[in-house]
């Protein structure tokens, strides 16, 4: 989900791929002519790979909130640091599988 000023502007629902979900949410926001540099990306799934972080950086999203908990969290954290982005790890999983 991408949000700005407490308003949801893009949702990547029902995707089996994290990157596809983020692409879908970004596309919705772009179609609404929203400046993504003032937006936050929030996810109920962790990001164990840097691909989502890099996609956000390419689209000027600089804040990410996610539960964390992957054994590869450091890869995402390092990608955020390299792109001067903020990442909040909530430590709370909203679903289990």
DSSP 16: S
What residue spans define the domains of the chain? 2-89
Structure tokens at 35: 């400046």
pLDDT tens-digit profile of 14-35? 788 999 999 999 999 999 998 9
CATH 3.40.140.20 applies to domain 2-89 = yes
- Residue-wise pLDDT for 39-83, tens only, equals 999 998 888 899 999 999 999 999 999 999 999 999 999 999 999
Strand 7-10 to 40-42 pairing: unpaired
pTM of the model: 0.90
């Amino acid at each position: 989900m991408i949000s700005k000023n407490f308003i949801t502007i893009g949702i990547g629902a029902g995707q089996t791929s994290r990157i596809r979900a983020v692409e879908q949410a970004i596309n919705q926001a772009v179609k609404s002519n929203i400046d993504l540099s003032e937006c936050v990306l929030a996810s109920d799934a962790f990001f164990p790979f840097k691909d989502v972080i890099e996609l956000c950086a390419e689209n000027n999203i600089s804040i990410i909130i996610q539960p964390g908990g992957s054994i590869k969290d450091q890869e995402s954290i390092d990608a955020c640091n390299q792109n001067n982005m903020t990442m909040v790890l909530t430590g709370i999983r909203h679903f289990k599988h």
